[in-house]
Amino acid sequence: MNAFVLGRRLGLSLASEVALVLLTLLILLVLVYPTAWVLAASFKTPETMFAASRWEFTLANYVAVMQAGFWRNILNSLVICLGSVLISTVIAANAAYAFSRGRFRGRRALFGSVLFGQTFPWIILVTPVFILFAQLGLLNNWLTMIFVYVAVTLPFSIYLLVGYLRAVPRSLDEAALLDGATPLQIVWRIIFPIMLPGIVATATYGFLLCWSEYLFAVTLLTQEEMKTMPLALYLYFGENVTDWGNVMAASALTTVPTLLLFLPLQTRMVSGLAAGSVKQ
């Protein structure tokens, strides 16, 4: 829906519609310009990076960060994020089906306790989580980060999918049961294709959250070879001197995957979020 159509639906005058369009363009400029500038600057030499009238194309910045081992940070982020999203989405889909369809004692209390975990500020949980995994000898471990990120993303993922499933008619479940389907078969063969927009929204939310997370990562990952992209990016800011070419290249490599993920899936993500926001 463009700004003019929105203006007509709201009953705005032509002048108000033009103002709405200008405001929309201004917001897009504020949001898009920094990302576009970083992407462009990553292909410039340090001498021309901040020059308004000079441009000197180079790939040296990307070569430098890759030779410095940034590819290892990319691998760490991908493994941790994809593993967390996969596990969290599978658990959330089954739990959401149980909460939305099941009738068992303590269902409301259990669902409320799941949502209660979302209310804690992360900074409160960092110290006890660090002490726990330090005593278990599980620092600097992919599985540790995956476990933490699954715990962080799971409450909202369950809430989102429960709201989405409330809009799916129960007659589908009943028909599948009459045909002899098991609960797992109903979830993954009948319900899953229908709730795909909600699954996409949930998985995208989890990936974006894990991809940019810094607090738990800086606490639980202390070895250089285990650091994720946000941690490695911070290291390029020196105490006295900053290599802006490396900073821009690393920033672009950190940003591009989220854009490649979000842009093709934005329609499904918006529809899934809208469907999952129904009143419980």
The whole-number pLDDT of residue 263 equals 65
Beta-carbon count within 10 A of 236 CB: 19
Q: Which fold has domain 63-276?
A: MetI-like fold (1.10.3720)
Nearest to 163 by CA among 115, 106, 207, 209: 115
The whole-number pLDDT of residue 274 equals 45
The whole-number pLDDT of residue 241 equals 72
Q: Is 254 helix (H, G, I), strand (E, B) or coil?
A: helix
Mean pLDDT: which of 180-194, 196-210, 233-247 is highest?
Answer: 196-210
Mean pLDDT: which of 16-25, 166-175, 196-205 is highest?
Answer: 196-205
Handedness of CA 166, 202, 266, 196 (dihedral sign): negative
| Residue 148 confidence class, pLDDT cut points 50, 70, 90 | very high
Which has the minimum average pLDDT: 4-13, 25-34, 123-132, 156-165?
4-13
Tokens of 250: 């690393």
| Residue 2 confidence class, pLDDT cut points 50, 70, 90 | low
For residue 95, pLDDT beyond 80: yes
Distance CA(204)–CA(217), nearest Å, equals 19
Residue reference for tokens 């901040």: 50
| Residue 82 confidence class, pLDDT cut points 50, 70, 90 | very high
The whole-number pLDDT of residue 226 equals 92
Tokens of 183: 């609960």
For residue 270, pLDDT beyond 60: no
The whole-number pLDDT of residue 9 equals 53
Handedness of CA 275, 277, 279, 280 (dihedral sign): positive
Residue reference for tokens 């319900």: 191
Handedness of CA 253, 259, 264, 269 (dihedral sign): positive
For residue 277, pLDDT beyond 50: no
The answer to whether 40 touches 55, Cβ cutoff 8 Å, is: no
The whole-number pLDDT of residue 98 equals 84
The answer to whether 165 touches 195, Cβ cutoff 8 Å, is: yes
* Domain residue limits, the chain: 3-60, 63-276
**Average pLDDT taken over every residue of the chain:** 81
